[in-house]
Structure 1
Amino acid sequence: MAKVFDSIDQNLKQWIEKQPLWFVATAPLGAEGHVNMSPRGHDSFSVLDEHRVGWVDYTGSGVETIAHIRENGRVCLMFNSFDSRPRIVRLHGRGEVFLPGQPGFDEVASRHPEHPSTRAVITVHVTRVSDSCGWGVPVMELKGERDLLRLQADKKGEDGMAEYRASRNAVSIDGLPGFPAEL
């Protein structure tokens, strides 16, 4: 049975920030909508305080996380241990999206290396923390980060990335406004 907490202590903060892979899940309000779960990595995630986390959101093939959070705020983050000690931690809460130049963006972006694929920052007010066994998660070895996001963004350049976001990130698979809509 999962242990449930209402905040992130220092030990959990250190464990979370060491995980090279984590997942974000969101869903629209409508019953016909799609639950979306996206894997994340790179040096992009921070525990801001005992009730807040945030990450640098890179340009991707979709925009579901941003669209769903803008519609209803609901979000769940999941961190797994893939080393010898099994563990799964989930952070439930309410998210907000910040574009470059908006209050809230620099608080998170300044903690991480600049990346040409950065499109937004997402913060979450954490209302529930659960810690469970993870006994069914395999032990795996990390070989390293992929550099494809950076390579693609460098190749497209700033204008090409803006065009890509306008054509591929404007609307979610559920038809919700995505990026670069005004927030």
Structure 2
Amino acid sequence: MGTFLNTITSDIREFINNQHLFFVGTAPTEAGEVSVSPKGYDTLRIIGESKILYLDYYGSGNETAIHLNQNKKITFMWCSFEEEPLILRVYGRGKVLDKGTEGFTATLNEQFSGYDERIVRQIFEIDVLSVQTSCGWGVPFMNYDRDRSKLDDMSKKSFD
């Protein structure tokens, strides 16, 4: 049975910080497709009980930013692939911190120091509206091996 909360508790924060994979979902205001993307790397920060920051690399389409600029709606999802089953969703309203703005530069320096600004497309700032947990009994067991280096390598190479 699912449980809804209004904030990110310390237990939920610990669960999120231990995951190597999360999914981001957004949708356009009117016509168009829902976008769901898997994300990795160390690109997510939890700020207090009700804010998430997500650093976005260049890559394929930019639907997340387009959708957030339209309607601000965003959902994050994590799954436990380990012994204790859990699916966790965080629902929120987000905004895009565009590269070259004061908010982008300050957030990058404060929260993502060590990232080369040239390979970062933007940062998403999300205000958490609700958090939902559910059983996760149907999620398979899987083991984490390592991050793929391709996106990071490609991003850095394009600026050399």
User: TM-score scaled by structure 1?
Assistant: 0.81
Deviation at 1:91, TM superposition (A): 0.4
Find the counterpart in structure 2 of residue 68 from structure 1. Answer: 67
Distance 1:22 1:54 in 2: 13
**1:89 partner amino acid:** L
Q: Is the 8 A contact 1:56 1:109 kept in 2?
A: no
Find the counterpart in structure 2 of residue 124 from structure 1. Answer: 126
Shift in alpha-carbon separation, 1:88–1:109, aligned structure 2, 3 A:
farther
Find the counterpart in structure 1 of residue 88 from structure 2. Answer: 89
1:54 and 2:57 matched: no
Q: Deviations over 1:57-89 (max 9, x none)?
A: 111111101100011100010011111111011
Find the counterpart in structure 1 of residue 33 from structure 2. Answer: 34
Shift in alpha-carbon separation, 1:94–1:123, aligned structure 2, 3 A:
same
Deviation at 1:108, TM superposition (A): 5.2
Find the counterpart in structure 1 of residue 156 from structure 2. Answer: 154
1:98 and 2:97 matched: yes
Task: Please state whether the residue corresponding to 2:152 is helix, strand or coil.
Answer: helix
Find the counterpart in structure 1 of residue 111 from structure 2. Answer: 111
Deviation at 1:123, TM superposition (A): 1.1
Task: Please state whether the residue corresponding to 1:16 is helix, strand or coil.
Answer: helix
**2:110 partner amino acid:** S
1:137 and 2:136 matched: no
Q: Is the 8 A contact 1:94 1:124 kept in 2?
A: yes
- Bigger Cα displacement from structure 2, 140-149 vs 115-124: 115-124
5+ unaligned residues in a row in structure 2: which ranges? none
Q: Deviations over 1:81-134 (max 9, x none)?
A: 111111011000100100234243233553334145211000110101001110
5+ unaligned residues in a row in structure 1: which ranges? 159-183
**2:123 partner amino acid:** V
Q: RMSD of aligned C-alpha atoms? A: 1.5
Name the structure where strand makes up a greater proportion of residues.
2
**What is the aligned residue count?**
157
State percent identity of aligned pairs: 34
Task: Please state whether the residue corresponding to 1:119 is helix, strand or coil.
Answer: strand
Q: Is the 8 A contact 1:46 1:108 kept in 2?
A: no
